[in-house]
Every structure is written in C-alpha cells, then in structure tokens.
Amino acid sequence: MKIAIHHREGSFSDSDFSYNKRWIAYCKEQNISYKLVDAYKNNIIEQIANCDIFMWHFYQNSTKDFLFAKQLFASIEAAGKLVFPSLAMTWHFDDKVAQKYLLEAIDAPLVESYVFYDEKEALAWLEKTAIPLVFKLRGGAGSQNVKLLKTKDVVKQHIRKAFRKGFSQYDGFSILKDRFQKFTKGKDTFKGVLHAFVRLLYPTTYAKVKGRDKGYIYFQKFIPNNDTDTRVIVIGKRAFAIKRKVRENDFRASGGGFIIYDSNEIDIQTVKISFDISKKLTLDCVAFDFVFDEKNNPLIVEISYGFAIEAYDPCPGYWDDQLNWHKGSFNPQAWMIDDLIEKIAPSFDNV
C-alpha cells in the first residue's frame, strides 16, 4: 500500500496553509509508504500507477487548480483508487449554487436560498420578497463575494449587473477594507494591507482566468441577530467545532479571525446534524457553517471540504459519532490518512 501526495515547490501545496506538510510528516512518523507526485505534470496518471491512494489539498483560488483538479480526482477515483478529497467532496466545493441543490435534495436545514438564470424572473421575484437579502457569488471563501443588500434598489442593481456586465471574482475594495479592519484589530499585518492595495491596481491571475460571473444571481435569506456563526468539521467518525465572532459593524463571521474555542459554547444540535449529513452524503471530510433562526433552529449556510489548519489547533477536544466528548489535542490531517488506510486495508487482507 502506497500513498501518492501532490507536492510542488513554490505552490500552495508547499505552504503552511496546505495539509501537505502534516500528511508527509505523519507518513514519516508512522512509517507509511508514500511518494511525492506533481499533479501539474502531463504524466500524473503514470506517476501514481503504483499507488493505491492519491491525496491533494487543492486550493480554490489557484488558477491551475481551478482548471483541472476536480476532473483529475474524478478520473483517478473512476480507475478504482482512493482519493482525498473524494468526488463526493469535490464536485460542489466552492460552489454555493451546487451546495444549494445538494442540501435541498436531501432536505437538510439550509438557510433559504434562491438562484435565478433569468433577469425578468429575478426582478419579478424581488417584488414579493422581504429585504434585506444576502448576495453571494457561487465561489469564494472567507466571506469573499458576500454582501448584505439592504434596499430593493440595490438588489435590482445587482440583478441587472449579474445578467449584463457580471461580477469579478476578486472584489478588491471589499478585500482591502476587510484586511484593514483586521489589521486594526491585530488580526492582519501591514504587509497584508499593502498587498490588498496593490491588488486594486493589479487583479489576481485567478480573477483573469476565471472571468466574470454572469448569467445567474444567487441570494440567501438574511438571518438576523447572529453575533457568531458555528463551524463544525466532521472527519470520519469525529467532529470538532468553533464559534466565530461576527466582524465589527458587519454580519459576516467567516475569515474574521475572532474565534471562540470553548466546547460548552457549541450547540450539540449542530454536531449531530453535521454527522447525519456527512454520513448520508458519504463525505469523509466536511466543514459546516451554521447560524440560528429566531426559534434557535440551526441552519446551514454552506459547506466545504477545506479549512484553515492552524485556526483549529487550539480546539480542546472532539466528539465521536455517538456524541461522546474526547478531551485533548489531535491532528485532523492524520485522521484523513488513517481513514483512507482503514478503507483500503480489507482489500489487502484478502490478497
């Protein structure tokens, strides 16, 4: 049994934000057979021919990853190899519209979400819809491309723009404002603010390749009176969670960096729902973002297979799938490898 791990110097996989370093370190510690491969090379299928598992923490804002990662995972999985993330985890990744359809199809407690592919239909719907609304592009993490629209006129402007000029994937002014606010709270660096300012003049390569989002409009119902959201991450039969404080004078929590780690602050309903959905959809690793309605019912905002590594290291413990609490530190990236090995072990036992 051998694991192929994508690694390329100078790319996201070589950074501290990637799962890679922990995967590689764990394989070394546990004497697990592995090899480093380069998914960007033409012969990637040949590279992994003698491997049973392929792992790649691909990045939603990478130009190269956006072009082919999901298709590569689907192809390797079709060949009978185990992959992380699996097709069940990747096809809707960084696509809020896809997640709307998926979660509605299984009757999950999703925040009311609306998508339109016709300008007239969207404008007609608006006339009988309560304001404010949360506008989102289908892609974007850390609250990027998310706005609270407080008047019908502003909503109309967004609808018209969606079906005409369209929206850039990179909202430079919003990102600059966000990074400056975090800088004043000690959550970002001056270098980060300067980088965001430069990006006003020179958009990201990803935004250029991806092009403008147009031809659809996506909204979610605004759920008021949430000064935090709850992020629950399920990996196999384990789950851990945090609360994230909403930014000052804002409604968004994701990406703000203001985190509550006390497990007593976590509503156990969110953990149970997360386990139930992850099992139903066979998601080996998935993060759920929850808010609560006026009746204190947890509602899912969106899901993702990826999460920031260091933000969760201070978690005081985790729940198992029977909702028993296990106190102590843990390594989520090690769990990912352990679960894959457990899946593949029976096939080797029968050889």
Residues 212 and 234 in one domain: no
Summarize the confidence of residues 83-96 as an average pLDDT: 95
Summarize the confidence of residues 82-99 as an average pLDDT: 96
- 123 within 8 A of 159, measured Cβ to Cβ: yes
pLDDT of the residue at 165: 93
In a domain, 286, yes or no: yes
Residues 214 and 316 in one domain: no
Residues 8 and 104 in one domain: no
pLDDT band at 351 (very low <50, low <70, confident <90, very high): very low
**pLDDT of 95 higher than 80:** yes
**pLDDT of 199 higher than 80:** no
Give the residue from 84, 105, 136 where a domain finishes: 84
Q: How far apart are CA 314 and CA 146, in angstroms?
A: 28
CATH number for the domain spanning 128: value is 3.30.1490.20
% pLDDT > 70, the chain: 84
- Residue indicated by tokens 């892609």: 139
- Written as one letter, the residue type at 347 is S
Of 130, 98, 88, nearest to 302 by C-alpha is 98
**pLDDT of 179 higher than 60:** yes
In a domain, 243, yes or no: yes
In a domain, 155, yes or no: yes
- Written as one letter, the residue type at 175 is I
Residues 235 and 312 in one domain: yes
CATH number for the domain spanning 18: value is 3.40.50
Residue 123 sits in which domain range? Answer: 96-178+204-221
**pLDDT of 202 higher than 90:** no
pLDDT of the residue at 350: 43
pLDDT band at 70 (very low <50, low <70, confident <90, very high): very high
Mean pLDDT of the chain: 89
Domains identified in the chain, total number: 3
Summarize the confidence of residues 92-109 as an average pLDDT: 97
Backbone phi and psi for residue 64, each to the nearest 5 degrees, phi listed first: -65, -45
Summarize the confidence of residues 10-16 as an average pLDDT: 80
In a domain, 127, yes or no: yes
Summarize the confidence of residues 51-77 as an average pLDDT: 92
Give the residue from 168, 193, 221 where a domain finishes: 221
Of 202, 193, 271, 197, nearest to 230 by C-alpha is 271
Residues 21 and 101 in one domain: no
pLDDT of the residue at 171: 61
Residues 143 and 217 in one domain: yes
pLDDT of the residue at 195: 65
- Residue indicated by tokens 């070589």: 14
pLDDT of the residue at 233: 98
Residues 233 and 217 in one domain: no
Residues 58 and 105 in one domain: no
Residue 94's CB is within 10 A of a number of other CB atoms, namely 21
Of 18, 4, 8, nearest to 61 by C-alpha is 18
In a domain, 64, yes or no: yes
**pLDDT of 180 higher than 70:** no
pLDDT of the residue at 178: 65
pLDDT in tens, 267-304: 999 999 999 999 999 999 999 999 999 999 999 999 99
